[in-house]
Amino acid sequence: MGMTVPSATESDQILSKKHAGYYAVELVKDGMVVGLGTGSTVFYAMEILAEKIKNGMKIVGIPTSYQAECRARAYGIPLATLHDYTELDIAIDGADQIDPKGNLIKGRGAAQTQERCVASACRLFVVVADASKMTSQLSAPVPIEVIASAATLAAKRLREMNGNPQVREGVKKDGPVITDNGNWIIDCTFAKITDPLALEIQINNIPGVLSCGIFAEFTGKSKIIIGNRESAEIMLH
């Protein structure tokens, strides 16, 4: 079976995501343990991984969410957990915003805590996105996973940091979004994020916070792949 080629009639954004996801799969080799991120761009990568598995490639996937797990199972990708593998060869994940140094904001899908664990465990962290995710400076709301009983305290601490925190409300569900880990998500907007790593550390040190969506500590092992309508290219490695 040959590699699937995106249709020319598809939208520019879909084509860009597919090209980025497909490019990332070329970095996956037989026998690797592969972190599987959450989101549409990574799912395009899973499509090609499924084809390669049908053609004999042996890999093991480590999903970062129930959504990623369900999609991987539907594609027939063998799965394990971080209990089984504490070191991964590669992880493929998306991002909501990327700055020129490779700092990220993630967590629109409320999976950033498990995504951070997988990113920490992998040797190579491959970020796939379309050009709309690029920005000169991080500015998107920062998703923050917090235990429910500490949400009010965390919001107070975030306001003291000049943030504007809002508990994320569910869609087709009354009340807060509940993460795969059973916690709440606070989306916090900051007027300016001049030092992503410092802000990440400060937020993650708030009592009750599991992790925030700023990913600034993995730039040393990151490869950023940006897709466009015709192909994909490495922005940073």
Catalytic residue IDs: 115
CB 196 within 8 A of CB 204: no
Q: How many other C-beta atoms are found inside a 10 Å radius of the C-beta of residue 134? A: 15
Query: Backbone phi, then psi, for 148, in 5-degree steps?
Result: -55, -40
Q: In angstroms, rounded to a whole number, what is the distance separating the alpha carbons of residues 193 and 190? A: 7
CB 68 within 8 A of CB 96: no
Q: Alpha carbon of 78 to those of 3, 36, 42, 115, 154: distances in Å?
A: 20, 11, 16, 18, 38
